[in-house]
């Protein structure tokens, strides 16, 4: 018998601190597999966020820099400018990217920095106890919206992939989901595409990934995937919102 599936080189063989069924673990593995398939491990640098993925530097066997909350795109801009041959990516949650760091996100995208952003949309602030994020769904119960997100008071869920697709500096913008096997495979393809866009020097690429947070969705891991499929994609439709060079 031949091994047909195993841990990829870039994913360290170590215990992670993520809760059972957390989407961060799946997303980490997909990023690692893409890096190994593209053969870019030796020249890739990651930027880890503040959020549940704060310890990502323990999980990828890569050079990784930790940025203050929301600032990975600024740090990535600096690193890419110093050595444009490096492949530079950020990995950020919705609190990190779409709340405290949205300024950095928009300006980095607008400048067309040739970096890749992996954006984990789990509709909550996981690390700090499940508070409302800019991406929290209408009516969703969180620690700070105990009777559900009221859009009159708290505004609407932010559509990051669509918003950024409008900026001329952005070459690739897509939303995918970790909801089942076909969508996990599509997520991997989108991550690969985003890295290829950077390798081709085409500018800013982003993949928004709908990702389960069973703990603060107060659901089992299986129910959480169902929630993405049945509820989350209604607010956040999947698709490619921009792909430069594609007719």
Partner 1 sequence: MGKVVINSARCKGCGLCIEVCPKNVLVPSSKNNHLGIYVVEVKNKEECIGCSRCAIICPDAAIEVYR
Ligand X SMILES: Cc1ncc(C[n+]2csc(CCOP(=O)(O)OP(=O)(O)O)c2C)c(N)n1
- Residue 173 interacts with which of ligand X, partner 1, Mg ion, none, CB < 5 to 8 Å by class: none
Binding pattern to ligand SF4, positions 20-59, x when CB under 6 A?
Answer: --x-x---------------------------x-------
Contact 31, 211 (CB under 8 A): no
Sites for ligand SF4 among residues 207-226 (CB under 6 A): 213-216
Residue from 51, 72, 157, 214 touching ligand X (CB under 6 A): that is: 51
Asked if residues 78 and 85 have their Cβ atoms less than 8 Å apart, the reply is no
What is the pattern of x (binds ligand SF4, CB under 6 A) and - over residues 69-108? ----------------------------------------
SS3 172: strand
Among 10, 80, 94, 109, binds Mg ion (CB under 5 A): 94
What is the dihedral angle through the alpha carbons of 171, 191, 119, 102, rounded to the nearest 10 degrees?
Answer: -20
Please tell me the distance from the alpha carbon of residue 141 to that of residue 148, in angstroms, as a whole number: 4
Give yes or no for a contact between 229 and 236, defined as CB atoms under 8 angstroms apart.
Answer: no
Cβ distance 242 to 173 under 8 Å? yes
Write out the residues near partner 1 by the rule CB under 8 A. 1-7, 11, 15-16, 18-26, 29, 180-181, 184-185, 214, 220-222, 225
Q: How far is CA 229 from CA 98, 125, 149, 215, 235, in A?
A: 22, 20, 20, 18, 11
Per-residue mark of binding to Mg ion, 146-175 (x: CB under 5 A): ------------------------------
Q: Residues interacting with Mg ion, by CB under 5 A?
A: 93-94, 122, 126
């Amino acid at each position: 018998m031949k091994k047909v599936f195993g841990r990829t080189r870039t994913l360290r063989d170590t215990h992670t601190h993520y809760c059972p069924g957390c989407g961060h673990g799946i997303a980490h593995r997909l990023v690692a597999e893409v890096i190994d398939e593209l053969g870019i491990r030796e020249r890739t640098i990651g930027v880890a966020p503040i959020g549940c993925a704060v310890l990502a530097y323990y999980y990828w066997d890569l050079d990784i820099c930790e940025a203050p909350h929301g600032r990975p795109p600024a740090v990535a801009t600096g690193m890419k400018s110093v050595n444009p041959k490096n492949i530079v990516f950020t990995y950020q949650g919705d609190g990190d990217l779409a709340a405290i760091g949205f300024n950095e996100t928009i300006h980095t995208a607008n400048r067309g920095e040739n970096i890749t952003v992996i954006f984990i949309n789990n509709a909550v602030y996981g690390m700090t106890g499940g508070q409302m994020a800019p991406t929290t769904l209408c009516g969703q119960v969180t620690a700070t919206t105990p009777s559900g997100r009221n859009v009159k008071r708290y505004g609407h869920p932010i559509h990051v992939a669509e918003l950024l697709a409008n900026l001329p500096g952005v070459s690739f913008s897509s939303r995918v989901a970790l909801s089942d096997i076909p969508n996990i495979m599509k997520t991997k393809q989108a991550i690969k595409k985003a890295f290829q866009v950077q390798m081709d020097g085409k500018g800013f690429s982003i993949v928004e990934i709908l990702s389960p947070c069973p703990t603060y969705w107060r659901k089992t891991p299986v129910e959480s995937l169902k929630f993405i499929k049945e509820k989350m994609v209604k607010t956040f439709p999947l698709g490619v919102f921009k792909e430069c060079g594609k007719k």
